[in-house]
Structure 1
Amino acid sequence: MVNGKIHSIESMGLVDGPGIRTVVFLQGCCLRCSFCHNPDTWCISGGTETSSSELIDKLIRFKSYYDKSNGGVTFSGGEPLLQPKFLLEMLKLCKERGIHTAIDTAGHGLGNYEEILKYTDLVLLDVKHIGENNYINLTGQNNHKFLEFLKALNNSNTKVWIRHVVVPGITDSKEHILELAEFINKNVKNVEKIELLPYHSLGAEKYHKLSIEYPLELVDDMDKDVCNELQDLIRSKCSL
């Protein structure tokens, strides 16, 4: 069995894939997104060390809920692809037990994507921004690893849900949303759903407690009605 670092576990998640799901938040992330609301997941040395056997024992306790709701397990983070050996082991153990698997990822991992995707039913793909300079400004990293993962994803049969955070003054213009739609149509296969997530500032308190400067201190929360209008727009352009 393989050991991994876990930040936390949500036992009855309803928004991270289809049905009722257990969401396993893995520790560690190399991005520093301006809107990140979980800075306590960044450091890979944090969290709680857990073996794959211990974790699968916890997950199968909820299998009846998965089966009744067409749910399953979602591995999130942080960035789950930063722990590829542990993630792969967990995906295999879930599939052996007939549990639907999903990964919530920005695609910034350590490789072995083809093997990981063999055991992944759904990828919740976090598209942070489009264009390298915009990507760097928002995340602190270039988009090369994202594009590397996207290539592997397109070569797989894994279904995809696109996720994109809409931040006032940064990613909330209609022009940007239309450019995003064009990028998705040209570059992402097997897309079943697109979700635009309205930015909120609920994570700011964590930054203050950790004595970290919050990058969007002066940015208001995104208006949910406007975000819904933009979501209708992008879905219409992507035939969803």
Structure 2
Amino acid sequence: MQQPVFTREVLRRCKDLRLHTALDTSGLLGERADDALLDATDLVLLDIKSGDPGTYRTVTRTGRLAPTVRFAHRLADRGTPICVRFVLVPGLTDDPLNVDAVASIAAGVPTVERVEVLPFHRLGAQKYAALGMPFPLAHTPPPDEALLRRVRGQFRDHGLTVY
């Protein structure tokens, strides 16, 4: 969404070739997506980082969940299918109240087809090292199976299909 004109053109050309298109976004800059861009989008992979404002600020450093929610509802009004993606980070996004808040947001958007709970991993640590930057989650473990089951269950409890 940093380059919506370019993105629109790429998606439009893919549609001309009868390719399925997907837009992967946090929705923060969703207002930059004009109708032509969204017309060329078959599916939106929407990252909802957190449902708790404090955790959202910590994770994104913007503290602005509202644009993501507005974008989700705009997509729903257009009938655009959505796959919500939620990164499960132990000690950061795993609080049951936070997970319920994300699940509640997703359940309130009628075109959400599924939720993907993505377990945190440290694969990005090498990128930080290459940039000479400390990796802030260097000591954070990946979630264990019990935590993954609990979080997926919370999304299912809201009537959502979960992967």
Match of 2:85 in 1: 163
Match of 1:150 in 2: 72
Query: What is the CA RMSD across the aligned residues, in angstroms?
Result: 1.9
Q: Which one of 89, 111, 118 corresponds to residue 9 of structure 2?
A: 89
Q: Which one of 33, 38, 43 corresponds to residue 122 of structure 1?
A: 43
| CA shift for structure 1 position 198 | 0.6
Question: Is there any run of 5+ residues in structure 2 with no aligned partner, and where?
Answer: none
**1:94–1:119: structure 2 CA closer, same or farther, 3 Å change rule?**
same
Q: Is this contact kept in 1: 2:52–2:98, CA < 8 A?
A: no
Which runs of structure 2 are paired with 1:184-203 in the superposition (5 Å)?
A: 184-186=106-108, 188-203=109-124
Q: Is this contact kept in 2: 1:128–1:164, CA < 8 A?
A: yes
Residue 103 (1) aligns with residue 26 (2): no
Letter in 2 for 1:226: L
The 4+ residue runs of structure 1 with deviation greater than 3 A are none
Say which structure is richer in helix. 2
1:182 and 1:152 mapped to 2: Cα distance?
17
Q: Which SS does the other structure have where 1:231 is aligned?
A: helix
Q: Which one of 96, 100, 106 corresponds to residue 174 of structure 1?
A: 96
1:196 and 1:232 mapped to 2: Cα distance?
11
Bigger radius of gyration: 1
**1:108–1:117: structure 2 CA closer, same or farther, 3 Å change rule?**
same
1:239 and 1:132 mapped to 2: Cα distance?
22
| CA shift for structure 1 position 225 | 4.7
Letter in 1 for 2:75: L
Q: Tell me the percent identity.
A: 33
Say which structure is richer in strand. 1
Q: Is this contact kept in 2: 1:123–1:161, CA < 8 A?
A: yes
Q: Which one of 128, 132, 139 corresponds to residue 53 of structure 2?
A: 132
Q: Is this contact kept in 1: 2:48–2:85, CA < 8 A?
A: yes
Higher normalized contact order (CA 8 Å, seq sep 6+, divided by chain length):
2
TM-score (ref. length: structure 1): 0.60
Match of 2:105 in 1: 183
